[in-house]
Amino acid sequence: MGAMKAAILFESLTGNTRKAAELIATNLQQEGWGITGVCPVRRPEMAAIQDADIVIIGTWVHGLFVVGQQPWGLGAIGHLPAIKGKLAATYCTFALNPGKTLDRLDATVSYLGANVIGGLALNRAKLRDHTEEFAARLTANIPSAT
């Protein structure tokens, strides 16, 4: 089968989550993975999702400081097609505190029938380091398909 192939979907407002998606894609490519697509959750590329071994879904933390923090775009994420039975990983970008954002995001993606293997909260002030860590954790936890 060869290298793992990932599709990355993001929900972004200011561009941080999109930038994180691009950094994750670059880091995974450096690890020898294939990237089938990097696209907004609201405009998913069906072929990219179908061709991927793992779907990575990212959003940003919406909420005032620490109260009522939640992932933005759960409605759109909850309607993603074609990820049933696929491996999935999640990430969120945050400024102060991610709260329970990842738990909620994981629950939504699990509900779609994906096998969620985990996620990481990425501090937007440390995107480069955190996206490297995210890619390293993914490649360490998923043996290359052989």
* Assigned domain for 146 exists: no
Quote the CA–CA distance of 17 and 4 in Å, as a whole number. 22
Average pLDDT over residues 20-33: 97
The helix or strand, by DSSP H or E, that contains position 56, with its residue range, turns out to be strand 54-64
CATH number for 104: 3.40.50.360
* Assigned domain for 24 exists: yes
Backbone angles phi, psi at 12, to 5 degrees: -130, 145
- Give per-residue pLDDT as tens, 49-108: 999 999 999 999 876 555 566 777 888 888 888 799 999 999 999 988 888 889 999 999
* Assigned domain for 42 exists: yes
Centre a 10 Å sphere on the Cβ of residue 101 and count the other Cβ atoms it contains: 26
Counted domains in the chain = 1
Quote the CA–CA distance of 42 and 40 in Å, as a whole number. 5
Average pLDDT over residues 118-145: 90
Please tell me the predicted confidence (pLDDT) of residue 97. 84
Residue 145 has pLDDT above 60, yes or no: no
Give the residue among 17, 40, 38 at the shortest CA–CA distance from 29: 38
- Give per-residue pLDDT as tens, 115-128: 999 899 999 999 99
Residue with more model confidence, 3 or 48:
48
Side chain identity, residue 105 = L
Q: Which domain holds residue 125?
A: 5-141
